[in-house]
Amino acid sequence: MCFQVGDPSIDHSCWERPKDMDTVRTVYAVDASNPASDVAGETAAALAASSMVFRLVDPGYVDTLLQSVVQAFQLADNFRGAYSDNANIRDGACPFYCD
């Protein structure tokens, strides 16, 4: 599960339009070898909340969201750890997002 694209240090100092940026777009992902229960759990919660918004308008989309909720929650539950403790993720996320 991808949760961040780009280098926060570079991105926070860049004031051009995203389509004009020519910097490296590092992808940070959560998986079995890079656990981040907090990120996966927050993603599951956001998707679950989204499913409530779309419940009456698009039931098919709600089913897709709820399938993703289950996957994100299982990832959070099965591969526990904070992303601020994960060396592969920490360098790209801290100090901006670790508080």
- Averaged over successive runs of 10 residues, the pLDDT of the chain (99 residues) comes to 81 85 84 88 96 96 97 94 80 71
CA–CA separation, 14 vs 21, rounded Å?
A: 8
Q: What is the tally of structural domains in the chain?
A: 1
Interval 3-22: pLDDT, tens: 788 888 788 888 888 788 88
Has residue 66 been placed in a domain?
yes
Has residue 98 been placed in a domain?
no
Has residue 32 been placed in a domain?
yes
What's the confidence (pLDDT) of residue 97?
Answer: 72
What's the confidence (pLDDT) of residue 2?
Answer: 80
DSSP 63-99: HHHHHHHHHHHHHHHHS---GGG-HHHHHHHTTTS--
Q: Which two tokens stand for residue 92?
A: 């790209």
What's the confidence (pLDDT) of residue 99?
Answer: 63
What's the confidence (pLDDT) of residue 89?
Answer: 75
| Domain enclosing residue 23, as ranges | 2-93
